[in-house]
Structures are given as structure tokens and as C-alpha cells.
Amino acid sequence: MNERSLQGFGGLGSAAALPADSQRVLRNTYWLLALSMVPTVLGAWVGVATGLSRAMSPGISLIVFLVGAFGLMYGIEKTKNTAAGVPMLLAFTFFMGLMLARMLSFVLGFKNGTGLVMTAFGGTAGVFFAMASLASVIKRDLTNMGKFLFVGVIVLLIVGVVNVFVQSSALMMTLSVLAILIFSAFLLFDLKRVIDGGETNYISATLAIYLDVYNIFQNLLALLGIFGGERD
């Protein structure tokens, strides 16, 4: 499983054109999304420094991820209208940072690992700004697109679980490319929902957009590691 003013980003569109409620939700979502990056980075740093994620087998890591992620997302939905909603979301993003540590450790093991991480970050930021700009100008209702994207995510999840045990590099690369495309489209869909007033809770909106951004970054990082990693 987000609102910040589009006008504040210049090229992302005019916030003044949005209804007042949508402006507020969008503004709050963007601020909370930015804040959520802090525990994500902290969690990733703890995971890399302690080697916690690398100490777990792929199977155990998968179980921990599924139980932790879905448990925390359930907690977020239960508390999204209370004062506990934001702390719950930040706890979730810290956990997701921990789970990202295995991939980061792999990429940072390359001679150019730091550069690859920064490239993945820049690429993810580029996709985000492109989708935000697109969401601000598209007039078409994208509601039906969500159903197809959800099916795509379920297929990715199932095949990804299978690949944990198969360990196919070719399948991993294919999944990463498809994941980037699907979650980029999901990012457009989720941003458009906020702009159109389809999502009125900024915590839920932040969760959805955070997951889109997280998956784009993770899969872009995986591809860069596979194709651009340089051994000493």
C-alpha cells in the first residue's frame, strides 16, 4: 500500500485549478510522501549496516516481507482517520527501507554501486515528475485503468514469489521491466485519483503513491545492477 501543491512544482500544473479539498489532500500527500522518505532511508541504512536482511534466506525474507508489509498496511487503513495514522505509515516506510537493504547491499557491492543508486534515484524522480505532470493535464477518467493494473500487480507478485525459488536472472529482468511500466502507470492512476477527488484521505493516498515510487526505484535499481554493475 499525498498531497502537495502542484503549483509549488511549477511545471506540474496549476493547483488553483483544483477544488479546495483536492488541493488540501494533494498538498498533504506530497508533504507526507516527502517525510516518509526519511524513515525509508534510515531503515535502509540500518539494514545495510547490520546485514540483517542478508542474514535471512530468500524464503524467510519473503515471509517476513509479506507478513510485515501486509500487517502494517492493514494497520494504516485501520488508523488512517486517527492520530495514529501518520506514525503507522512512517513505521511502514521504515520497514520497507529495511526490506530494501538486500538489494542495496548487492548494488553497493559493485565498484560503481553508489553511482547506480543515485542513477536509480534520479530515474525514479524523473518518472514521478513526468507522471505528476501528466496527471495534472489529462482530462480523461482513468478509473477503469485501475482494474487492469491491479491484475498486472497480482501476476507480478505470483511470478515474483515463484522466482524467489527458481532464481532465474532472465525472469527477474523481465519482471523488473514490467514492474517499472506497471507501477509508473499506477503512479499516474493514483495521482489522478487525488486530483479528481477520488481519494480524500491523504494517508491512504500517500501509501498508494509511496508503494508506486518504491517499486519503481527497487526494480530500476535491480536492472542497473544487472546491466551496469562493475566488479573490482
Kindly list the domain boundaries of the chain, sorted by start residue. Answer: 6-228
Q: What is the pTM of this model?
A: 0.86
Q: Give yes or no for a contact between 16 and 26, defined as CB atoms under 8 angstroms apart.
A: no
Encode pLDDT of 84-121 as tens digits.
999 999 999 999 999 999 899 889 888 888 999 999 99
| Grid coordinates given for 175 | 519482471
Encode pLDDT of 162-203 as tens digits.
877 777 778 888 899 999 999 999 999 999 999 888 889 999
